[in-house]
């Protein structure tokens, strides 16, 4: 696992997802500036935690696919169900 590549690509993906850019959310009687909701990802020596749990060891095939997607420069494919309209 190339941790440097993962960190570099996560930074690039954060920019693509709109990090630091507020969006206008219209409401009756006004509007709010809304920041994109962060997706927490914690890297450990022996696995990852995404969305606050559960712990996923690097040996798990779904973890390997998730990290491979990131190393390839893409958002993890497993997020498509959670974000069907994109990030």
Question: Given this model, what pLDDT does residue 10 score?
Answer: 94
More confident residue, 1 or 54: 54
pLDDT at site 86: 67
Q: pLDDT of 27-57, one tens digit each?
A: 898 998 887 778 899 999 999 999 988 999 9
User: What is the CATH T-level fold of the domain 3-82, as seen in this structure?
Assistant: Nucleotidyltransferase; domain 5 (3.30.420)
pTM score, whole prediction: 0.79
Residues 6+ apart with CB under 8 A from 12: 73
- 33 contacts 21 by C-beta, under 8 angstroms: no
């Amino acid at each position: 696992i190339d941790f440097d590549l993962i960190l570099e690509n996560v930074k690039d993906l954060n920019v693509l997802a709109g990090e630091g850019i507020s969006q206008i959310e219209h409401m009756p009687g006004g509007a709010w500036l809304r920041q994109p909701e962060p997706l927490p990802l914690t890297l450990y020596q022996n696995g990852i935690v995404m969305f606050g749990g559960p712990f996923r060891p690097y040996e798990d095939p779904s973890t390997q696919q998730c990290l491979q997607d990131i190393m390839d420069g893409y958002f993890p494919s497993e997020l498509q169900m959670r974000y069907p309209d994109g990030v």
